[in-house]
Structure 1
Amino acid sequence: MATKILNAAMLGLTPENMSSHEHLPSALDASLLNTSIVIALCVFFALLCACIVIGHLLEENRWANESITALLLGLCAGVVVLLISKGESSHLMKFSEDLFFLYLLPPIIFNAGFQVKKKRFFKNFTTILLFGIFGTVISFCVISLGVFWTFKKIGVRSLNIKDHLAIGAIMSATDSVCTLQVLSQDETPFLYSIVFGEGVVNDATSIVLFNSVQTLDFDNIDGLTVLKLIGTFLYLFFTSTALGLAAGLLSAFIIKTLYFGRHSTDREFALMILMAYLPYLLAELLNLSGILTVFFCGIVMSHYTWHNVTESSRITTKHAFATISFIAETFIFLYVGMDALDIDKWRESKASAGTSAAVSSTLFALVLVGRAAFIFPLANILNCFQKIESSKIHFKQQFIIWWAGLMRGAVTIALSYNQFASSVKSSPESALMITSTIIVVLFSTIVSSVFHWYNRKTLFALTT
């Protein structure tokens, strides 16, 4: 029985839908599920290897990065599975959004904090926080209001206020990883620092906003609702940040005091990994933002803990965290590519091609407007306080920052699943939101990356 439940969990089956598999003979049940798991994992690992090989072969041309490669391979794999299953499914392995939040997103965000160039990051800290926090809030408001005003005209009427606000938070989350594979830290250090810093803070802020929306009761809206939303946001943001800082400092103190390296570097490395992941779980237990916690924990651990371990542990941890993050990010884009052909969601949405295109186009247009609504005004406000001309963000640089943050990725997908996946069967428009989100992610990632590659020399020339 335990083996059966474990196999079902790995396939994304829940106790509610396990009943459909009860008719299988008990002697063949475990064997059949194990075979399915092995086949699915073999294909996914083969696709991951293909992404790495293709990314290496295209390293000099840079017309495509690993994210785009994973998306395209996922689409191709989805088509093949769809044909083999005779149109029944495009998935090899199904899983819930918990897989994103518990196993895939934490290493990506932690590595972002661990690998960040702290000197330049904190030099531009004011700009990063202004764009990453206040800018994300502005984008959240613009997208939420735009969705509220336009969706009813398109024909999407069943969504409530909480759904509209959740969409604002979902579509405000950028994908800095894919963008920074186009920008160069050596050629454009200032823009790289701004886009990278704003991207990771933006992801954390979007998740905090999303969690804040979930905690509010919109059945009884009054004048204090906005204040409650702001208060919840500030509480989650600062409490999660404090927990991450405390966890990072605690890990540095333990490793420095006990000096594990004199006996075993393996213990050092194991303790760093566990203490990097533990505050994330603790934050989730306390209903805080685990992503924000693990990001600032990564910053503190890279500055204090990392310098208290042996040289061999430093090399190991640096490459291990980067590798785990890379695999998790690639895995997500592979699944997104395959999920774009999820027949069940397209059928559940019951939307025509015109409606689906209208919703996706509206969301992407709101992303464009929402980002422009804070990049250009805030950048010009910052310029008023900058006395040194070289420290100002000129219009051409503002345009690059605006365009570089248009890509949507892992966080957007994860939040969309969290908000709408549980209600897909009860509301066709929830399924429409998931499929539209996937379209926006695919379109923004591929089109924006190709545009960046085509205009790369021009973009670099604009910064000089």
Structure 2
Amino acid sequence: MGISNETSVQAISLFVGLLYICILLDHLLKNNRWISKTTLILLMGSVAGALILLLTQGRTALVFKFDEQLFFNYVLPPIIFNAGFEVRKKQFFRNFSTITLYGAIGTLISFGVISSGAYLLFKPLDVGSLDARDYFALGAIFAATDSVSTLQVLNQEDTPLVYSLVFGESVVNDAMSLVLFHVIQRFDYIPLGADNVVLLFTQECLYLSVFSILLGVFIALLCAYTTKKMSFGGNSPLHEISAMILMAYLSYMLAELFNLSGILSVFFCGMSMSHYTSYNVTEISRTTTKHMFATMSDIAEKFIFLYVGMDALDVQRWEVVLHRVGTSLAVSSSLLILVLLGRAMSIFPLSYLVNLTKRDPDEKIELKRQVIIWWAGLMRGSVTMALAYSQFTKIAHTHEHGGAIMITSTISVIYFSTVVFGTLTKPLLRLLVPSSTITTNIRVCSESSSPKSTTVPLLWNLRDSDAYMAHNIATKSTLSMLITKPTKTVHYYWRRFDRAYMRPFFRASEPTPDDFEDIYQAL
């Protein structure tokens, strides 16, 4: 951090105190329907930054400088791992084609729109010495939606289908954006209009995606196998918890060591651990790790947005930008318009293609829900900020106006999208999907026993995952529709393979709630 030990202790103490205040405010306003937790923390960070600015007599609004390596190595992994650990794997893979279409193809569309749009709009503005790689990087940076903000704004009980699709898409989107950014950094120079750029991008993306996923799954299976064979039992819950935490972090760091995508690796490691390793440990260890991962993720999320709120008042950077206020506003406005346009060009055409493949009207994504999905994915957050710092921080800290403008514009877009779009999501949701309609849809969907229904929330309830299974079985009044509407999807064949080979080898033999559900579905 470049400051004395005493100053460092003071800065850490101040930041920890601010985090504690954020937790208290979050608890007091948890039932507030108009302000999201992210918006609250951003505003809290800005207030704290303003106070620090006054105390330091205008010298700085920060307690320490942002370090992208700190973010990627320590702050981001708990957030992504917890997302994979808590994701409802059944609904994730049952909606896998739609989620992949939004998250992968949609991200590529947004990437292309933002990159090409930035190149065309920024050239007349003279924003600095940006080369082709910077424009491609801008596409990857602003194509990344913010799953944190989306989760805090949407309610899975009100709109389960929208919640499932937005959350699943945002996770794949973050991974795809990081893969794209990682690929761009591998090229020292990218000539615009080169014939082999698309081929190189495709090869690198496939390589990073496939091997990152395989590494994460391998680490999780290794952890599951060792915890099963070691038979920790009830004597060593400390060893069980330590093994899961260390192996989860190892999946991320090994991916970074091998120049792969750590976010993809740790996400699929979390999914695999929750499916195999969690059933090889005691109930105490299972509950402890679940809440520990959720707690670490929550603190990391608060840390990120608290810092963004404080960094919005960074005096040194604004001193550079103030000499070119018009250019800075034009860049911020252009980026915001490109985000809106890129999101629209990815969601609405892809939703049309998805609806063409759905025969059941209940599974079609109607226009109102498409608008909600489009709007909810407009927010930008932690991944966007970290990538922007990684790309532009070197020239920003040497006071070049190009880097400073890009950093301040990124913070402006994050701040505006989180506060404005995040705050208006709830009213928009109630306008497009009235409460009566939501209730009716939930009732109808719960009575439907079609195993391919996409209206079930994507995440397990943290408090009682077994209760969801019991409720799910109770609401299916008959087996008639399971007989009249059989489905054999990729998920169906995977479950057969999983039950026959994977679970006997990597999971303990005692029955689990998931096994009872398999028996019910088989009947």
TM-score (norm 2): 0.81
Structure 1 counterpart of 2:407: 434
Structure 2 counterpart of 1:352: 324
Q: Which amino acid letter does the alignment assign opposite residue 125 of structure 2?
A: I
Superposed, 1:42-57 pairs within 5 Å as: 42-57=13-28
Work out whether 1:104 is the aligned partner of 2:75: yes
Preserved CA contact (<8 Å) 1:52 1:66: no
Structure 2 counterpart of 1:453: 426
Structure 2 counterpart of 1:444: 417
Residues 453 and 189 (structure 1), Cα distance of their counterparts in 2 relative to 1, 3 Å cut: closer
> Aligned equivalents of 2:226 and 2:201: distance in 1?
37
* Greater displacement, 48-57 / 277-286: 48-57
Work out whether 1:332 is the aligned partner of 2:304: yes
Shift of 1:143: 0.3
Structure 1 counterpart of 2:148: 177
Shift of 1:264: 0.8
Which stretches in structure 2 are left out of the alignment for 5+ residues?
Answer: 442-523
Superposed, 1:215-226 pairs within 5 Å as: 215-218=186-189, 222-226=194-198
Aligned partner of 1:142 among 89, 113, 129: 113
Q: Which amino acid letter does the alignment assign opposite residue 402 of structure 2?
A: E
Aligned partner of 2:163 among 174, 192, 214: 192
* Greater displacement, 254-263 / 73-82: 254-263
Structure 1 counterpart of 2:345: 373
Work out whether 1:77 is the aligned partner of 2:48: yes
Question: How big is each residue's C-alpha offset from its partner over 1:426-449, in whole Å with a ceiling of 9 and x where there is no partner?
Answer: 632011101100010000000012
Aligned partner of 1:393 among 362, 365, 376: 365
> Aligned equivalents of 1:198 and 1:351: distance in 2?
40
Q: Which amino acid letter does the alignment assign opposite residue 414 of structure 2?
A: V
Preserved CA contact (<8 Å) 2:127 2:401: no
Q: Which amino acid letter does the alignment assign opposite residue 79 of structure 2?
A: I
Aligned partner of 1:126 among 97, 103, 106: 97
Question: How big is each residue's C-alpha offset from its partner over 1:18-74, in whole Å with a ceiling of 9 and x where there is no partner?
Answer: xxx8xxxxxxxxxxx332122212221121111111111112223223211111111
Superposed, 1:25-424 pairs within 5 Å as: 33-218=4-189, 222-349=194-321, 351-424=323-396
Q: Which amino acid letter does the alignment assign opposite residue 252 of structure 2?
A: Y
> Aligned equivalents of 1:229 and 1:445: distance in 2?
30
Q: Which amino acid letter does the alignment assign opposite residue 436 of structure 1?
A: S
Preserved CA contact (<8 Å) 1:115 1:302: yes
3-state SS, counterpart of residue 233 of structure 2 = helix
Q: Percent identity?
A: 52
Shift of 1:263: 2.4
Question: How big is each residue's C-alpha offset from its partner over 1:310-340, in whole Å with a ceiling of 9 and x where there is no partner?
Answer: 0001110110000000000000101001111
> Aligned equivalents of 2:350 and 2:170: distance in 1?
16
Structure 2 counterpart of 1:4: none
Question: How big is each residue's C-alpha offset from its partner over 1:143-186, in whole Å with a ceiling of 9 and x where there is no partner?
Answer: 00000000112232421100000000000111111112221112
3-state SS, counterpart of residue 253 of structure 1 = helix
> Aligned equivalents of 2:40 and 2:387: distance in 1?
23
Shift of 1:219: 5.6
Shift of 1:76: 0.6
Q: Which amino acid letter does the alignment assign opposite residue 170 of structure 1?
A: I
* Greater displacement, 70-79 / 181-190: 181-190
> Aligned equivalents of 1:196 and 1:51: distance in 2?
24
Q: CA RMSD in A?
A: 1.5
> Aligned equivalents of 1:244 and 1:166: distance in 2?
26
Residues 149 and 304 (structure 1), Cα distance of their counterparts in 2 relative to 1, 3 Å cut: same
> Aligned equivalents of 1:297 and 1:324: distance in 2?
17
Q: Which amino acid letter does the alignment assign opposite residue 316 of structure 1?
A: T
> Aligned equivalents of 1:262 and 1:455: distance in 2?
50
> Aligned equivalents of 1:95 and 1:440: distance in 2?
18
Q: Which amino acid letter does the alignment assign opposite residue 357 of structure 1?
A: L
Preserved CA contact (<8 Å) 1:333 1:410: yes
Shift of 1:300: 0.5
> Aligned equivalents of 2:390 and 2:310: distance in 1?
18
Q: How many residues align?
A: 435
Preserved CA contact (<8 Å) 2:128 2:401: no
Shift of 1:451: 0.4
* Greater displacement, 435-444 / 343-352: 343-352
3-state SS, counterpart of residue 216 of structure 2 = helix
> Aligned equivalents of 1:158 and 1:349: distance in 2?
15
Question: How big is each residue's C-alpha offset from its partner over 1:115-169, in whole Å with a ceiling of 9 and x where there is no partner?
Answer: 1112221111110011011110110000000000001122324211000000000
Preserved CA contact (<8 Å) 1:128 1:194: yes
> Aligned equivalents of 1:244 and 1:341: distance in 2?
39
Shift of 1:347: 2.3
> Aligned equivalents of 1:269 and 1:351: distance in 2?
54
> Aligned equivalents of 1:121 and 1:227: distance in 2?
29
> Aligned equivalents of 1:398 and 1:220: distance in 2?
36
Preserved CA contact (<8 Å) 1:421 1:430: yes
3-state SS, counterpart of residue 153 of structure 2 = coil
Q: Which amino acid letter does the alignment assign opposite residue 291 of structure 1?
A: I
TM-score (norm 1): 0.91
3-state SS, counterpart of residue 388 of structure 2 = helix
> Aligned equivalents of 1:311 and 1:368: distance in 2?
46
Preserved CA contact (<8 Å) 1:351 1:432: no
Q: Which amino acid letter does the alignment assign opposite residue 266 of structure 2?
A: V
> Aligned equivalents of 1:378 and 1:132: distance in 2?
11
Preserved CA contact (<8 Å) 1:368 1:406: yes
* Greater displacement, 221-230 / 209-218: 221-230
Shift of 1:94: 2.0
> Aligned equivalents of 2:107 and 2:318: distance in 1?
30
Which stretches in structure 1 are left out of the alignment for 5+ residues?
Answer: 1-11, 14-20, 22-32
Residues 181 and 426 (structure 1), Cα distance of their counterparts in 2 relative to 1, 3 Å cut: closer
3-state SS, counterpart of residue 263 of structure 1 = coil
